[in-house]
Amino acid sequence: MNAPILDTLESDRRDSPVTERLVVIGNGMAGCRAVEEILARDPLRYAVTIFGAEPRVNYNRIMLSPVLAGDKSYEEIIINDQSWYDDNNIELVSGDAIIAIKREAREVVSASGRVTPYDRLLIATGSDPFIIPVPGHDLPGVITFRDLDDVDKMLAAAENGGSAVVIGGGLLGLEAAHGLSLRGMKVTVLHLMPTLMERQLDEAAGFLLKSELESRGQTILTQADTAEILGESHVTGVRLKDGTDIAADLVVMAVGIKPSVQLAKIAGLAVERGIVVDDHMVTDDPAIMAVGECVQHRGFCYGLVAPLWDMCRALADHLTENPTGYEGSVTATKLKVSGIDLFSAGDFSGGEDAEDIVMRDASRGIYKRVVVKAGRLVGAVLYGDTVDGNWYFDLLKRGEDVSEIREALIFGQAFASGGVSLDPDSAVAALSDDAEICGCNGVSKGQVATCIGGGADTLDAVRASCKASASCGSCTNLVESLLSIALGEDYGGARTITPMCKCTSFTHEDVRRNILEKALQSIPEVMQELHWTTPDGCASCRPALNYYLLCAWPEDHQEDPQSRFVNERMHANIQKDGTYSVVPRMWGGVTNPMELRAIADAAEKYGARLLKVTGGQRLDIFGIKKEDLPAIWADLNAAGMVSGHAYGKALRTVKTCVGSEWCRFGTQDSTGLGIKAEQMTWGSWMPHKFKIAVSGCPRNCAEASIKDLGIICVDSGYEISVGGNGGIHLRGTDFLCKVETEDVALEYIAAFIQLYREEARYLDRTAPWVERVGMEYIKDRIVEDGEGRRALQARFLHAQSLLQKDPWADRAAGAEANLHRHIAEIRPLALQKAQ
């Protein structure tokens, strides 16, 4: 183009019949970017008119969060000011929304009645926020977070202080919450899912984010389902489906967006979730194009900004007769909350052929996870240190083979591109002597090397002598590398300790000690602090962690049903055909006609196929469907019976004989003591199942000598013995002590159980535990140390005061109802008709 032509551009354009008229609906990022791209290719090709619903020039919508947070002003986020429109001869019609497209006449009609003809039409209407249709959603004070007007409303509300509730813990909701919190409001975030930003983050990173936001004073409620928004003339609060009320002067709905397709739909264009476009962003009407969040391309709708750039490039190429095509985008997410570094990209849902590489550094609050599939990086989640985000994103988009740098990948670009050898040992060898190996204890590489040189030839020896890797354990790999460098083949690498499972290098004891020392409260927290190498553990460690947390923190324990074995999750015993058996508690094996009648009725009513007396003196009702469990429990509860925990790592049964009340040989009231022991102990969770028996005389009809705890009554008192087992490995109990009264017997029972609860490994019965620690140790703790015994008893009773609840009653009342229901049923049409 020659410069002089530009000078006469305006008149040429408006009057020349060869200039095509391009009308753009939407003055947002997509619409304006598309125009910029077209102008860059051929500034004379089109006479452009842009319609915008907002009365403003084009601004950067993704920077609304910094405006709300006070980091930026409106002026700073303007992309194109009025002079851009003027300089490029673009007619901007702002504040006048298009309400109809007349395709036959090739005209658009605006709200004010203005009719504008077009040769080419570009729809860039973006997206609309989702409004949850709960009662009260239209009250004044309930707003969305989509445009500058919304930001103005939030700023106005924040001036009066007060409380805000943000519904939605995704990107937008969290940014709104952050801004409002900085503006001085007390903010509660309600999120329906268990994890914040679950579409971008895995559970571990979501957990770190939640902790950080909470430490900044926000209240984050996950699995919070909004029932209604409260208020008469203005919002006053939010009520959740569980009945919780949260006061609020402002409610921000940020649950998501949907493509804005109304105009296109009315005009009869092909619309599914979004406006359907081809690779050149053309709709099913060749004169009409669409770009941005309103479109659906190859089945995908995008809600992020990056795909816009590629779409607009493809569109402009097409409109200037140089078609290239758009192939869809891989997207990456960053949270714009100052001080929180968070990055996610690609697919981190794992999969069989996918390999997870996880690195956690608890002391620095870092979590990194990259997913490699067939030698290529397919996903990355970074929390706390995102400097390599762009590098990973680049590797991901380019789809390069990363198998060569696989070992070093997680350490980031600087390390992986180091060029030399990528063997982790040589990477460690390359570190300088004063490089810090153990951050917790401040131990340098030189100090570890000295310590190994001084004879510490195992990991445990290093831990013992210089404390490296002895705290959080995150540097264990580094220490092992140093051992292997220093000792060569002499270092077998074999640990003398057995880790809890393949997800961790920590032993059961290490994990329990850390839970207490670091006050770890949840499974994700344990996994983060103790550097779990898998994203969410396995079927072996999750139930163990759930138990350890429950035992350590009875006050605050948050039950995690998904980390329970099926029987404990369903509070019944699964059978080989998938039905369940139900065992109500019979205190000390004693029952009565009312209970028996209720059991008989229930067995008939729910079609039990077998009713059997158990080895523990109770009745087992077999063949109950999971759907019927809450109902049968309600019936049994009504007759006064509670869960027998025949399904649990818990107190099972207290077997008794009839004792001195009836038996001519009986020395004490063994039945009565058994019932007291059962009433004290039922409902307590333990490392494994736990059985008690009380026999009224040494004839031992209750078989007390093969129970976890057995009592044999004698004339002068009660002989207590422990660690028996009648299972695979038959083991008789070891004598603990003899006591004189029932009360003292109960004190010893409670203390022994609590010691077992606190110190045995998950899934250890008492027999192997007693053998491992030795009877001397048990006697020291329970018999010799009276004060310690009473403290153990007190801790047991305290835990019982909090956790001794009948789980059946909760379920009968409707708790966890979904566990007992199908998600749906499929009745194929053909079959239904036939029936």
Site residues, another protein (CB under 8 A): 192-195, 198-199, 202-203, 225, 258, 273, 348-352, 354, 356, 534-539, 542-543, 561-563, 565-567, 569-570, 574, 576, 578, 818, 821-828, 830-832
CB 378, min distance to another protein, A: 12
Amino acid at 235: V
Helix, coil or strand: residue 139: coil
CB 532, min distance to another protein, A: 11
**CB nearer to another protein: pick between 106 and 369:** 369
Unique residue bearing structure tokens 């493509």: 259
* Alpha-helical segments (H) within 385-536: 389-398, 413-416, 424-429, 445-453, 459-466, 476-487, 508-517, 523-529
Sign of CA dihedral 698, 701, 704, 705: positive
**CB nearer to another protein: pick between 542 and 557:** 542
At 719, list the tokens: 């002989």
Nearest to 514 by CA among 530, 535, 501: 530
CB 545, min distance to another protein, A: 12
**CB nearer to another protein: pick between 153 and 625:** 625
At 537, list the tokens: 């553990």
Helix, coil or strand: residue 204: helix
**CB nearer to another protein: pick between 321 and 352:** 352
Sign of CA dihedral 457, 462, 468, 473: positive
Element (H, E) at 481: helix 476-487
CB 55, min distance to another protein, A: 32
**CB nearer to another protein: pick between 207 and 748:** 207
Strand partners for 436? 444
What is the rounded (10 degree) CA torsion for 100, 101, 102, 105? 130
**CB nearer to another protein: pick between 121 and 570:** 570
CB 831, min distance to another protein, A: 5
CB 830, min distance to another protein, A: 5
**CB nearer to another protein: pick between 728 and 824:** 824
CB 549, min distance to another protein, A: 16
What are the start-end ranges of the E strands in 505-618?
573-574, 580-582, 610-613
Nearest to 370 by CA among 412, 423, 325: 412
Where residue 141 falls (left for φ over 0; alpha for ψ -120 to 50; beta otherwise) is: left
**CB nearer to another protein: pick between 197 and 608:** 197
What are the start-end ranges of the E strands in 479-618?
573-574, 580-582, 610-613
CB 4, min distance to another protein, A: 54
Helix, coil or strand: residue 646: coil
| Angle formed at CA 16 by CA 14 and CA 22, multiple of 5 degrees | 60
Unique residue bearing structure tokens 């004010």: 112
CB 804, min distance to another protein, A: 26
Amino acid at 137: H
**Can you tell me the distance from the alpha carbon of 530 to that of 521, in angstroms, rounded to the nearest whole number?**
13
CB 835, min distance to another protein, A: 9
CB 570, min distance to another protein, A: 7
CB 568, min distance to another protein, A: 11
* Termini Cα distance of the chain: 77
Task: Please list, in sequence order, all residues whose beta carbon lies within 8 angstroms of the beta carbon of residue 158, skipping any fewer than 6 positions away.
Answer: 164, 180, 183, 184, 185, 250
At 611, list the tokens: 């009713």
Task: Please list, in sequence order, all residues whose beta carbon lies within 8 angstroms of the beta carbon of residue 119, skipping any fewer than 6 positions away.
Answer: 20, 21, 22, 106, 287
**CB nearer to another protein: pick between 211 and 534:** 534
Distances, alpha carbon 831 to alpha carbons 112, 818, 822, 824, 825, in Å: 56, 27, 20, 17, 13
**CB nearer to another protein: pick between 576 and 664:** 576
Say how many residues make up the chain. 835
Say if CB 261 and CB 277 are below 8 A apart: no
Say if CB 207 and CB 528 are below 8 A apart: yes
Amino acid at 551: C
> How many alpha carbons lie under 13 Å from residue 545 in its C-beta half-sphere?
32
**CB nearer to another protein: pick between 560 and 806:** 560
Strand partners for 564? none
**Can you tell me the distance from the alpha carbon of 346 to that of 333, in angstroms, rounded to the nearest whole number?**
9
**CB nearer to another protein: pick between 185 and 345:** 345
At 169, list the tokens: 């813990």
CB 119, min distance to another protein, A: 35
**CB nearer to another protein: pick between 51 and 392:** 392
Distance of CA 258 to the CA centre of its chain: 24
**Can you tell me the distance from the alpha carbon of 424 to that of 249, in angstroms, rounded to the nearest whole number?**
55
Return the number of other C-beta atoms located less than 10 Å from residue 485's C-beta: 15
Helix, coil or strand: residue 260: coil
CB 265, min distance to another protein, A: 16
Amino acid at 709: L
**CB nearer to another protein: pick between 273 and 364:** 273
CB 349, min distance to another protein, A: 4
**CB nearer to another protein: pick between 304 and 354:** 354
CB 697, min distance to another protein, A: 42
**CB nearer to another protein: pick between 537 and 554:** 537
CB 647, min distance to another protein, A: 11
- Strands 376-383 and 342-346, bridge-based pairing: antiparallel
At 299, list the tokens: 């089945």
**CB nearer to another protein: pick between 119 and 627:** 627
**CB nearer to another protein: pick between 542 and 676:** 542
CB 415, min distance to another protein, A: 26
